[in-house]
Amino acid sequence: MKLPAILASVALLSAPAFATPVDAQNVASLDSAPGKSYYSCSVRAADGKMTTVRISSVLAKVQAAVGGIDAAGVSGYPKKYNPKWEFEDSTCDKLHVELLQYPLYSNGKPFHKNEKNQPDTPFKTIYTAVETKKGRKLHFCGVGYGTALCTLNKRSRS
């Protein structure tokens, strides 16, 4: 996907427009300001203890835009997602909505739609396409980890 297409998709998500390609460093700087939101996911660490991983909402929305609502790329993504939980967002929680999933690395590294043999990740950005008068548009639903839905949190403005 070319940069202008990514930027157009990101604009649809109400995320900031990027003048440069998105990478871990500039997503982290965009998302580090007070008041920015993030998803917290409870995961089991290698030592067996539960820990919390934070995923930037900006990164999740950008990766959804990269995944797009078109056919799958060489990587096989985006793939259909069969929900196992209820979403707070009524657009995502409707009975006959086709949800899509796209890989999301918690370290901010991008997943590339048209590359094979990338490391797998249990984190997925979940979204759908909605019909509007101007055509189909991407609608962001949330972030999942394995079979659990991550919680949306907001940093304080202190």
Asked: is 3-154 a CATH 3.30.2290.10 domain? The reply is no
pLDDT of 36 reads 73
pLDDT of 154 reads 65
- Whether the predicted pLDDT of 12 surpasses 50: no
The better pLDDT of the pair 152, 13 is held by 152
- Whether the predicted pLDDT of 100 surpasses 60: yes
Domain residue spans in the chain? 3-154
The model carries a pTM of: 0.70
Condensed to tens digits (0 to 9), the pLDDT of residues 56-78 reads 888 899 999 998 888 888 999 99
> For every residue of the chain, which 3-state class applies, written as one string?
CCHHHHHHHHHHCCCCCCCCCCCHHHHHHHHCCCCCEEEEEEEECCCCCEEEEEEEHHHHHHHHHHHCCCCCCCCCCCEEECCCCCCCCCCCCCCCCCEEEEECCCCCCCCCCCCCCCCCCCEEEEEEEEEECCEEEEEEEEEEECCEECEEEECCCC
